[in-house]
Amino acid sequence: MGKVAINIATGSLQTEEIIVGIDLGTTNSLIAIVRKDSHQPIALREIDGLTLVPSIVHFGTEGNITVGNAAKELLVAEPERTIYSAKRLMGKSYKDVSDHAGFFAYKVIDDDTDALVKVQVAEKFYSPIELSSYILKELKQRAEHILKTPVNKAVITVPAYFNDSQRQATRDAGRLAGLDVLRIVNEPTAASLAYGMGVKAHEEKTIAVYDLGGGTFDISILKITNGIFEVLSTHGDTYLGGDDMDRALAQHWQKQLGISDGEMKRDKSLTQQLRVTAEEAKKHLSNKDSFEGAINGKAVSVSKTEFNTLILPLVERTITSCKNALRDAGLKAEQIDAIVMVGGSTRVPLVKQSIRDFFGKDLYDQLNPDEVVALGAAVQADILAGNNTEMLLLDVTPLSLGIETMGGLMDVLIPRNSKIPNKAGRQYTTQKDGQGSMRISVYQGERDLVQDNRKLAEFNLTGIPGMPAGMPKVEVSFLVDADGILKVSATELRSGVQQTIDVKPQYGLTDEEVEKMLLDSLTHAKEDIQTRALMEAITEAQQMLDVTEKFLAKHRQDLSPEEISTTLNSMQLLRDAIDIKDKDSVQHATESLNDISRPYAERVMDAALKDAMKGRKVI
Ligand code: AMP
């Protein structure tokens, strides 16, 4: 039986619960739903006609919290109390954002650790999750007000490069806002869905999603096969967008008007006027050929041609990213079947023209570029609500997931680019006799040594019953759910002892870092193979030393003094070889020890066997 909701406005029962699609953006956020009658996605509009809610939170002195346009108006007057761009801080440590600390006019806590960042407003501290939850709460209330029904379920979008921790943070923000987040969907996937791509079965398409917003730029190359969305590559610049165009024009006018930098610093309202007028001019030029306005009572103007010259370097930077994304995906521009335009800044004619020329194709730009991601989230919500049974939506893992094994090696359980949801398991055993616990360390990355990858979590499987080394069977399984969140469990199969954790990583990765990790894995491939071979040789050597030591302790009386001394000698040589970390020496010394010990080990074992045949017990 499905859940029953009560419409608080009318008091009537609703048998179907609505699921909304939410684009939780860096600058603006919005909600969309699929209309029951037309089956078309629409953005929810307040009576004021606005669909976009600025992703800005203001904390008043009396403890009152304001979100959206009302908060935006306080941005200049109360910068320390008005928090924007919280999305940039999601799942990040201060170290991750310290390079851009100047970007934030409010106080981001700098404790120089790997701990997650917090924002300080007066005496209070807020996590990016809490900040995002205030935005989501506002969106939920808006939706309830417009739809006149409770809204408890949502699909929320995130950038394709968001890692586990950032996805988890987004999900937590939803939960804090009182929303059951049914699915986290990649923004480029949502944008494609809004255009109906991937909705039909047996459809094969390669899509480029070009997303240029106010402050960020992303290009993603997606492949759709039978309703499965695979992210082939992503590139971009987390500090490039329409704001930079405004800045370029503002600086141009500043020079023309002969305003010094010092004056700009002193006079905040003049700076603000320049910025606001520049943005107004930019928008105007999206439809007209010239703009005329005034700053501080002085006339300013700009033609479309002049504006294009000013912003050309910015547009060229996005083209470079497109080239990189294509290169990473192993594709040529002409192999892209469709180009989807997302973000307010794709309204700029020079942007459209440049992208059209670069890919040599017409663009998908008919839908409102500010709304297209939310519309796609609504399409996904509709699919989850069971209203569109044709589709199954899948994404892929951006980096490999695995655990640390002997010698600090990375053992990959789920390789990068695996379709999600995904499940993988592998059996491991103990190293020591009577070992009662086993440490499971979970890593993400492409390198062979875990120290070069990123640690996501660690836990101990305790209560393993005492058994000789190698006897326990510990099954480690990874489950990546449909949102890309990882659940790790370890079970000792003989005893049934089990431990499970949801991976909530300590800190996040930026898209540049993901890219760097991938590049590193290519650059260091040869070196990694050598290190892996050395580590494997050392692991084997240590096992050999362990076994020999035990044998000596147990059967000393069965060996000649000469056998004992050559064995001890050979063991020392092997330890020395391990110390100098030379693979060939380690292998060589292991073989020597094996050669020395094999004859007497066999002799002792044969004797034991004969004893057993005589009906005596083998100890
Ligand atoms: P988004 O982050 O996707 O909401 O994009 C916001 C950016 O789009 C801001 O930099 C806006 O100035 C820009 N934008 C909005 N409307 C227009 C327009 N008509 N022409 C050019 N840029 C626009």
Secondary structure of 494-513 as H, E, C letters: CCCCEEEEECCCCCCCCHHH
Residue nearest to atom 21 of ligand 1 (CA): 283
100, part of any domain: yes
Confidence of residue 220 (pLDDT cuts 50, 70, 90): very high
**How high is the pLDDT of residue 413?**
93
**d(Cα 417, Cα 397) in Å, to the nearest integer?**
5
Give the residue-averaged pLDDT of 120-129: 92
Ligand 1 atom closest to 243 (CA)? 10
103: left (phi over 0), alpha (psi -120 to 50) or beta: alpha
Confidence of residue 510 (pLDDT cuts 50, 70, 90): low
The tokens for 370 are 């500010």
435, part of any domain: yes
What are the angstrom distances between the C-alpha of 602 and each of 503, 564, 599, 605?
48, 15, 5, 5
Ligand 1 atom closest to 52 (CA)? 4
CA of 343 to the centre of ligand 1 (A): 7
CA of 284 to the centre of ligand 1 (A): 11
pLDDT at position 221 over 60: yes
Tell me if 45 sits within 8 A of 180, measured CB to CB.
Answer: no
Give the residue-averaged pLDDT of 529-542: 84
Give the residue-averaged pLDDT of 361-390: 88
Confidence of residue 513 (pLDDT cuts 50, 70, 90): low
Using the 3D structure, point to which of 461, 485, 519 is the last residue of a domain: 519
477 and 549 in a single domain? The answer is: no
pTM above 0.75, yes or no: no
DSSP class of residue 616 equals P
457 and 509 in a single domain? The answer is: yes
Tell which one of 23, 212, 240, 282 to mutate to probe ligand 1, the residue whose CB is within 8 A of the most ligand atoms: 282
Task: Compare 611 and 273 and report the one with higher pLDDT.
Answer: 273
**How high is the pLDDT of residue 313?**
97
pLDDT at position 13 over 70: no
Residue nearest to atom 14 of ligand 1 (CA): 344
187 and 332 in a single domain? The answer is: no
The tokens for 373 are 């991601």
Tell which one of 51, 211, 345, 348 to mutate to probe ligand 1, the residue whose CB is within 8 A of the most ligand atoms: 345
352 and 372 in a single domain? The answer is: no
63 and 25 in a single domain? The answer is: yes
349 and 376 in a single domain? The answer is: no
Nearest to 152 by CA among 52, 12, 14: 14
Confidence of residue 168 (pLDDT cuts 50, 70, 90): confident
10, part of any domain: no
**How high is the pLDDT of residue 14?**
44
186 and 44 in a single domain? The answer is: yes
pLDDT at position 4 over 90: no
**How high is the pLDDT of residue 407?**
83
Domain containing residue 186: 19-195+368-384
**How high is the pLDDT of residue 9?**
41
**How high is the pLDDT of residue 53?**
96
380 and 505 in a single domain? The answer is: no
Using the 3D structure, point to which of 519, 546, 579 is the last residue of a domain: 519
Beta-ladder partners of 230: 223
The binding-site residues of ligand 1, defined as CB within 6 angstroms of any ligand atom, are 25, 27-28, 213-214, 241-243, 279, 282-283, 286, 343-345, 347-348, 370
Tell me if 514 sits within 8 A of 163, measured CB to CB.
Answer: yes
Residue nearest to atom 19 of ligand 1 (CA): 283
pLDDT at position 112 over 70: no
Count CB atoms within 10 A of the CB of residue 3: 10
Helix axes 304-329, 268-285, angle to 10 degrees: 80
**Beta strands of 142-297 (E only): which ranges?**
153-158, 180-186, 204-212, 217-225, 228-237, 290-295
234, part of any domain: yes
256 and 177 in a single domain? The answer is: no
155 and 292 in a single domain? The answer is: no
Helix axes 304-329, 349-359, angle to 10 degrees: 40
- Give the active site residues: 23, 87, 187, 211
CATH code of residue 268: 3.30.420.40
Confidence of residue 391 (pLDDT cuts 50, 70, 90): low
Secondary structure of 92-130 as H, E, C letters: CEHHHHHHHHHHCCCEECCCCCCCECCEEECCEEECHHH
| Range in 60-64, 471-475, 575-579, 613-617 with the lowest mean pLDDT | 613-617
576, part of any domain: yes
Tell me if 505 sits within 8 A of 457, measured CB to CB.
Answer: yes
**How high is the pLDDT of residue 389?**
52
Phi, psi angle pair for 198, to nearest 5°: 80, 0
Highest mean pLDDT among 294-298, 505-509, 524-528: 294-298
Ligand 1 atom closest to 279 (CA)? 12
Nearest 5 degrees, angle CA 107-CA 110-CA 115?
120
pLDDT at position 346 over 70: yes
CATH code of residue 564: 1.20.1270.10
161 contacts: CB under 8 Å, gap ≥ 6: 218, 234, 236, 398, 509, 510, 511, 514
Residues of the chain by 3-state class (helix, strand, coil), percent to 5: 40, 25, 30
Tell me if 464 sits within 8 A of 438, measured CB to CB.
Answer: yes
Q: What are the tens digits of pLDDT across the range 188-204?
A: 999 999 998 987 767 88
The total of structural domains in the chain comes to: 4
Give one DSSP letter per residue of 571-615, joined into a string: HHHHHHHHHHT-HHHHHHHHHHHHHHHHHHHHHHHHHHHHHHHTT
In the block, tokens 């105007």 appear at 284
330, part of any domain: yes
352, part of any domain: yes
390, part of any domain: no
461 and 551 in a single domain? The answer is: no
**How high is the pLDDT of residue 376?**
96
**How high is the pLDDT of residue 554?**
87
pLDDT at position 121 over 60: yes
**How high is the pLDDT of residue 514?**
61
**How high is the pLDDT of residue 499?**
82
Confidence of residue 400 (pLDDT cuts 50, 70, 90): confident
Q: What are the tens digits of pLDDT across the range 445-470?
A: 888 899 888 888 888 888 888 888 88
Confidence of residue 314 (pLDDT cuts 50, 70, 90): very high
**How high is the pLDDT of residue 312?**
98
Residues of the chain with pLDDT > 70: what percent?
Answer: 88
Using the 3D structure, point to which of 519, 536, 556 is the last residue of a domain: 519
Confidence of residue 318 (pLDDT cuts 50, 70, 90): very high
Mean pLDDT of the chain: 86
pLDDT at position 3 over 50: no
pLDDT at position 496 over 50: yes
229 and 133 in a single domain? The answer is: no
CATH code of residue 465: 2.60.34.10
